[in-house]
């Protein structure tokens, strides 16, 4: 656990929906972006602003060959059908727009 703590170079809360953390790793550092996306029934302009801000944050904070990991709750609902090598048959119900 101490090694993990020592590898944290930076941790910053960008908003109530976006947080970033940079880890010192070999051969390249890792930039983790933790998100909580707006729900499906949120107004389109608010969702657009969230994804524009996410794109802006990645552009501002990602350095060179750094490994980027974006993870979190995208509030997407995927269906129960296989989609190439991306989604297995583990979804529930009908896919929503956030699940596209």
What is the per-residue pLDDT across 52-99, written as a single tens digit (0 to 9) for each?
999 999 999 999 999 999 999 887 665 555 556 655 555 566 555 554
Write out pLDDT tens, residues 34-55. 999 998 888 999 999 999 999 9
Q: What pLDDT shows up at residue 46?
A: 93
C-alpha distances (whole Å) from 53 to each of 10, 16, 33, 43 are 19, 12, 12, 16
For residue 30, count other CB atoms closer than 10 A to its CB.
Answer: 15
Q: What pLDDT shows up at residue 32?
A: 97
Domain limits at 46?
2-99
Q: What pLDDT shows up at residue 42?
A: 86
Q: How many domains does the chain have?
A: 1
């Amino acid at each position: 656990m101490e090694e993990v703590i020592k590898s944290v170079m930076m941790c910053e809360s960008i908003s109530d929906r976006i947080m970033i953390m940079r880890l010192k790793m070999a051969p390249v550092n890792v930039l983790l972006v933790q998100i909580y996306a707006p729900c499906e029934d949120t107004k389109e302009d608010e969702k657009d602003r969230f994804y524009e801000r996410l794109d802006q944050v990645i552009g501002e904070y990602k350095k060179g060959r750094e490994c980027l990991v974006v993870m979190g709750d995208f509030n997407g609902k995927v269906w129960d059908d296989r989609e190439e090598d991306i989604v297995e048959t583990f979804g529930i119900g009908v896919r929503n727009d956030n699940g596209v």
